[in-house]
Amino acid sequence: MDKQKWNPAQYAEEAHFVSELGAQVVDLLAPCAGERILDLGCGDGTLAKALHDAGCRVVGVDASPEMVAAAISTGVDARVVDGHELRFDAEFDAVFSNAALHWMTRPGLVLDGVYRALRPGGRFVGEFGGHGNVATILRALEEALAARGIDATPLNPWFFPRADEYHALLTRYGFEPVKVQVFSRPTPLPGDVTGWLETFAQRFINSLPKEARKAFVVEVVERCRPALCDGDGRWMADYVRLRFVATRPFGASAVVKPSVSSA
């Protein structure tokens, strides 16, 4: 199965709004100069750089070597690490994550690594896709693939939990959730939804032979148009955000964590 590929130039063109909107998550983090911060899923490093410029000691991690190279070019310490395989030990005052956790489909492994990466009393602050995120786009992809005899279920690379589900997960992995909320945030796109699909929905598109992909994308765009494009031709993605703050308690966690091998 084709993996999602990340291209920093395409990302900057089609998805610059991701880090622009992520500024609100930085505000929620309320970073202080001198704090050690892990940016989990740092992408091209835009927000890691903002934290660095605010005087924090930042390490960015991302599974994409291309995005990590882009992050390093901005002057931040960034490393190629899969979020399911964090190996830090009580090194950070905070773990921060914007628009990345929905790509990590084994959240137990991620939470276990984040917990270990934080010092006792440290905080985990982030935002990602919540339940119902991009539902119109996902339905259009599923229906257009079904029309071609393909079941999209195993191609779906995203984890979009409900607030109560994520609250329970945080608790199970030893965190104290301070806030977990899901809210709708329709998000303007730079053009129509074509660029978004080509940037983020590669698993679905690449399940088809090369020569069939263009027509498929055109069809998905048309399936989305009635819900996502207004009378003036402006497109909005139907984003739903899950925003959270949680802490690693000072005392040893009394919670017995399930085996993470299957998480």
List residues binding ligand BEZ (CB under 6 A): 99, 102, 129, 133-134, 158, 200, 239
Distance in Å, CB of 204 to ligand BEZ, minimum = 11
Sequential DSSP letters for the chain: -PPP---HHHHHHHHHHHHHHHHHHHHHH---TT-EEEEET-TTSHHHHHHHHTT-EEEEEES-HHHHHHHHHTT-EEEE--GGG----S-EEEEEEES-GGG-S-HHHHHHHHHHHEEEEEEEEEEEE-TTTTHHHHHHHHHHHHTTT---GGG-------HHHHHHHHHHTT-EEEEEEEEE--EE-SSSTHHHHHHH-HHHHTTS-HHHHHHHHHHHHHHHHHHHB-TTS-BEE--EEEEEEEE--SSPP---PPPGGG-
Q: Which two tokens stand for residue 241?
A: 């955000």
Tell me whether residue 177 or residue 195 sits nearer to ligand BEZ (CB atom): 195
Give the residue with the Cβ less far from ligand BEZ, 105 or 258: 105
First-to-final CA distance of the chain: 22
> Nearest-CB residue to ligand BEZ?
129
Which of 160, 127, 150, 144 has the alpha carbon at shortest distance from 197?
Answer: 144
- Cβ of residue 182: shortest distance to ligand BEZ, in angstroms? 12
Whichever of 132 and 249 has its CB closer to ligand BEZ, that residue is 132
Nearer to ligand BEZ, 88 or 158 (CB): 158
C-beta closer to ligand BEZ: residue 133 or 247: 133
Supply the minimum distance, in Å, between the C-beta of residue 201 and ligand BEZ.
7
Nearest residue (CB) to ligand BEZ, 43 versus 174 = 43
